[in-house]
Amino acid sequence: MNSDFMSLMAGVIHFFSQPMNWQGPGSIPAHIIEHVTYVLISTLIGAAIALPVGIGLGHSGRGGLMAINISNIGRAIPSFGVIILVFLLVGYGVIPVIVALVALAIPPMVTNSYVGMREVDPTVRQAAVALGMTGWQRLWQVELPIALPLIMAGVRTSAVQVMSTATLAAYVGLGGLGRYLIDGLAVRDLAQVLVGAILVAVLAVVTELLFAGLQKLITARGLQ
């Protein structure tokens, strides 16, 4: 067991130290770029759908419970199932993966942006009306800046989840860091599996840190 573990670690180090694993197609950087591309595309599409819905419902204060319930149901659907389903419908390609990841990205962003908007102090909202702000001015100048920290927290949760789940792309023959998991398991090369796991974990942590920094940067000083 102990010697197994030692040889496994040696294998991992060996993998990382091979120059050929750092260059060209199928190398570590190439897989990272593929992986991050899936994550960026799905998070952005997810945000484009989720944020307007959550912010709009939060601003008007209507239908919020319904939106949160629907997005919670969305959370319960397994991403792998979605991939297989869409794969069966549209066939091979990047679309099944993106659809599954978008579905995964939406719920936290809807919930957080809705809650963020509702959390704005009613006195502050009322003041904005009484001072003569139009609906758009209230949204852009008052409610959004105040809700931004919570909205960003939602985007951050989504991005980190999508980052870990994007490994599923490899199951339908695409690239990304999931390749190491699938291929490693297929040939029982545990060192390679571990390499994939480590890289995904590091990327998730880096994403978390990046967003934490971004969130701090764009939060108005008066709210910190």
Partner 1 sequence: MTNEHRQRASAEDRETQDSSAIVFEGVTKRYGDGTVAVESLDLTLPAGELTVLVGPSGCGKTTTLRMINRLETLSAGRLLIGERDVMSVDATRLRRQIGYVMQHSGLFPHKTIADNIAVVPRLLGWDKKRLRERVAELVEMVGLDEALAARYPHQLSGGQQQRVGLARALAADPPILLMDEPFAAVDPIVRARLQTEFLDLQRRVQKTIVMVTHDIDEAMKLGDRVAIFAQGGRLARFDTPARILSTPASDFVVDFIGADRELRRLALERLDSLELDAGLTAPRDEIVARARSYLQQAGSSGIVVLDEHRAPLGWLDWDTLKQADDRARIDSLALKPWRHRLYLHDNLRSALNALISAPGEVMPVLNAQGRYVGVIDQLQLTGRLT
Tokens of 23: 């260059």
Q: What is the DSSP letter of 120?
A: S
Backbone φ, ψ for residue 132 (5° rounding): 95, 35
Tokens of 96: 């099944």
Q: Is 221 in the site for partner 1 (CB under 8 A)?
A: yes
Distance (Å, rounded) from C-alpha 125 to C-alpha 83?
42
* 132 is a site residue for partner 1 (CB under 8 A): yes
Distance of CA 62 to the CA centre of its chain: 27
| 7 lies in the site for partner 1, by CB under 8 A | no
Select from 42-50, 67-75, 123-131, 162-170 the region that touches partner 1 (CB under 8 A).
123-131
On whether the CB atoms of residues 46 and 102 are closer than 8 A, the answer is: yes
List CB contacts of 27: < 8 A, sequence separation 6 or more.
Answer: 20, 21
Binding-site string for partner 1 from residue 138 to residue 157, where x marks contact by CB under 8 A and - marks none: ----x--xx-----------
Q: Is 137 in the site for partner 1 (CB under 8 A)?
A: yes
Q: Which of 3, 19, 121, 217 binds partner 1 (CB under 8 A)?
A: 121
Joined together, the tokens standing for residue 109 give 């962003």
Helices 28-60, 178-186: crossing angle, 10 deg rounding:
130
Q: Based on the shown chain and the rule CB under 8 A, indicate whether residue 3 belongs to the binding site for partner 1.
A: no
State yes or no: residue 119 binds partner 1 (CB under 8 A).
no
- Total interface residues for partner 1 by CB under 8 A: 20
Q: Which of 133, 197, 198, 204: binder of partner 1 (CB under 8 A)?
A: 133
The residue (of 128 and 166) whose beta carbon lies closer to partner 1 is 128
| List of residues contacting partner 1 (CB under 8 A) | 121, 123-124, 126-134, 137, 142, 145-146, 220-223
